[in-house]
Structure 1
Amino acid sequence: MSTPASLCTILQHALSAGDQDALTDLYIGGTPPNTLRAYERDLIYITAWADAAFKKPLQWPEREDVALRFILDHSRDLRDASDPARDAAEHLIAKGLRKTLACPAPSSLDRRIASWRAFHRMKNLTSPFDAPLIRQTRAKARRAAARPNAPKSANPITRVVLEVVLATCDHSLRGIRDRAVLMLGWASGGRRRSEIAGLMRADVDLKNYDNDGLIWINLVATKTTEMGKTPKLVLKGRAAKALAFWIEMAEIADGPLFRPITQNDDPLERALSPDGIYQIVQKRIALAGFPKGFATPHGLRSGFLTQAALDGAPIQAAMRLSLHRSLAQAQKYYDDVDISENPATDLLG
């Protein structure tokens, strides 16, 4: 992954050029790609906010009054036209960095503060967010703006739903690709869209496919696993056939596994983006006749675990594929299964 220019700027310190390059390479190589992308987005947002609110660039270390203002600006609705924070918010909305004047989710504020603190650590500086008043204000703001957790997908894409969605995939190259994306995303444990988009041809092991029908998937890193420590995942049956067929028909010898398709039904050289995965799911959900907003790509993940619960699969077995690190997190999907559908209710027959 290429080093974001803005992160390189953050990493500047009183080091020799060689040491600086080595430190930058070490930091980038040791940070998950998803985290790097989040840092990049948050740095863009924070920089734009500081410019709009104070007409100044970020400082290192940042002043405590600036940190306090950031929390206050993101802890309430900005309906009052005379509110000084509203001008900065409208500036961010105009830049496409903020959606509305409503109070952002506490998790969004927490993530941006975590990134800002990380930027200070990169420069070996004390973060203003560690000051007692700032810490207390942040805790109060989080409690005041608390809201129920909304599911990442309105509905899980269970096996029944998936079958209907797969029926919309025709025999065009686009249909073959979408079928492989959906089946791999579901059957390999409910992969996140960034994980699907990030797969390379070299991550797919077909050497035993002809003999045993198994395809091994090597994810370099996920949200819950470290670089190089992600266990291999397996595809079998229809999912393995769908993936092997896509690789054969698109002639994917190396490079990105999933790619955009031209209007002439030809694959491009570049990788399909995470947003491209989102668009595939949305398009196929709509073609299958489900209402708008019925499910998002996370529905593949929640659907896999929900189906595992419906089929009576031990949660530990499901987690072996989903790669959930937290038993409590995975248990939520099992708890969502209606008690009347629980296989344990049929033990007596």
Structure 2
Amino acid sequence: MSAVDRRVKDLDTIAAVLPMERRDELAELLTDQDVETLRHLVNEGMGANTLRALTSDLAYLQAWSLAATGRSLPWPAPEALLLKFVAHHLWDPEKRLTDPGHGMPADVEHKLRLQGLLRVPGPHAPDTVRRRLATWSTLTKWRGLEGVFSSPALKSAIRLAVRATPRPRKRKSAKAVTGDILLKVIATCTTGSLRDVRDRAILMVAFGSGGRRRSEIAGLRIEQLQPEAPIPIEGGAPLPSLSIHLGRTKTSGADNDEVVYLSGRPVDALNAWLAAAKIDKGSVFRAIDRWGNVSRRPLDPKAINDILKQRAKMAGLDPGEFSAHGLRSGYLTEAANRGIPLPEAMEQSRHRSVQQASEYYNSASRRSGRAARLL
């Protein structure tokens, strides 16, 4: 068995938390020690989303190192290599017009593009560079080594590079999926087909449970759903209700079981999907093949994004203006528009940062407030 085949086999043991469509690619890029580190982190209970992000960053770093130096990442990395990484990823597009040697060398860029690891033109976003350096630093510490990631030279290089190429901060989704937009999107799911029933449930559950992250929706399992007592409504039928146990999330502690609630029509939509797909255990939201067969495996988180964009296009909206994160920002924006207090909305969205959550509230109140309507 070759080293690559052995790594493929080892990666199969942690298939539940890694993007397995990239398994062979990861086996080619990562070293034996890299794979062993990832397996250790899975056994230690690292969150699946964190591990996926870490693995993606590590694969990119390894590919860049091979392309830029002809060698795998050294542990620990010398300061010169860290500075080279910054120079290759944070550069001035205008200066490159007159100096082709500025920024990432053409041969390095070509190799990364061939591997599908470099997609967008121009320099990286500063936050992406900082995150990958943080991943590099974390992995260095896990190997019991000391890095130079806090060196004055590295900090200064990043600061000067960011200052030289200012760029406006973009939100993850250009538009929030507020209630009115959600209704238009859901209106495309009316045929009663399995795909329509599933997509309707995905969109309503994601929004109604507080604007869940796409990874939380894709990874949702029957075992996380707990029926609750119906909610009495004066003069009407009680609303069905259930709780969703999220377990450990991106912003919760290791031992915290985050719980959110779902009531009314989203519960009906979810139950309709489970009944139609005959799902009583395992993954809630699954792929459907061209013949209408429901897979046993969960949807990939990217599929949640694709579903929203496809439905937005079917509704006559510009799919480029929406992403799955728009369901999360849309929930808070809609809560603000309806006058729901911020703390109450945060209990459902599970935002930990008041500053982050209040951005959506402030935007909604400013847009509809008197200060924006002086003329």
2:221 aligned with 1:194, yes or no? no
Mapping of 1:136-147 within 5 angstroms?
Answer: 136-147=156-167
- Rounded to whole Å, the distance in 2 between the matches of 1:151 and 1:26 is 30
For 2:202 and 2:311, the matched residues in 1 are separated by 11
Contact 1:259 1:272 in 2 (8 A): yes
Partner of 1:29: 44
Which whole-Å deviations, capped at 9, do the CAs of 1:163-209 have from their partners, x for residues lacking one?
11111002111111001000010010001111110111111123646
Matched, 1:135 2:155: yes
Q: Structure 1: any 5+ residue segments left out of the alignment?
A: 13-19
Partner of 2:308: 281
2:84: which partner in 1? 69
**Residue 174 (structure 1) aligned to one of 195, 217, 222:** 195
Q: Secondary structure at the match of 1:268?
A: strand
1:202 counterpart letter in structure 2: E
Give the Cα–Cα distance (whole angstroms) in 1 for the partners of residues 173 and 252 of structure 2.
23
Question: CA RMSD for the aligned pairs?
Answer: 2.5
**Paired letter, 2:172:** K
Q: In structure 1, what residue type is equivalent to 2:314? A: L
- Bigger Cα displacement from structure 2, 71-80 vs 275-284: 71-80
Q: Distance in 1 between matches of 2:317 and 2:289?
A: 26
Alignment of 1:188-227 (within 5 A): 188-206=209-227, 208=229, 213-227=240-254
User: What amino acid sits opposite 1:194 in the alignment?
Assistant: S
Residues 30 and 140 from structure 1, CA distance in 2 versus in 1: closer, same or farther, beyond 3 angstroms?
Answer: farther
Give the TM-score, by structure 2 length. Answer: 0.83
* Letter matched to residue 177 of structure 1: R
| 280-289 or 74-83, larger mean C-alpha shift | 74-83
Mapped pair 1:153 → 2:168:
no
Kindly state the Cα deviation for residue 27 of structure 1 after the two structures are TM-superposed: 6.2
2:3 counterpart residue number: none
1:105 aligns with 2:125: yes
1:128 aligns to what SS in structure 2?
A: coil
The residue number in structure 2 matching 1:239 is 266
| CA deviation after TM superposition for structure 1 residue 339, in Å | 3.6
CA distance in 2 between counterparts of 1:292 and 1:199 reads 25
Percent of aligned positions that are identical: 36
Distance, in Å, in 2 between the alignment partners of 1:132 and 1:285 is: 47
Cα distance in 2 between the residues matched to 1:224 and 1:292 = 29
Contact residue 247 and residue 259 of structure 2 kept, 8 A? no
Q: 1:44 is matched with which residue: 51, 59, 83?
A: 59
What does residue 33 of structure 2 align with?
A: 9
2:185 corresponds to which of 155, 165, 169? 165
Residue type at the aligned position of 2:171? P
Distance 1:140 1:230, change over 3 A: farther
- Which residue in the other structure is 2:139 paired with? 119
Kept after mapping to 2: 8 A contact 1:71/1:109: yes
SS in structure 1 of the partner of residue 243 of structure 2? strand
Q: Structure 1 length normalisation: TM-score?
A: 0.88
How far is the alpha carbon of 1:28 from its aligned partner? 4.6
Residue of structure 1 aligned with 2:70, choices 41, 55, 58: 55
Instruction: State the partner residue of 1:262.
Output: 289
Distance 1:244 1:214 in 2: 11
CA contact (8 A) 1:8 1:24 kept: no
1:90 paired residue number = 110
**Is the contact made by 2:248 and 2:258 (CA closer than 8 Å) also made in structure 1?**
no
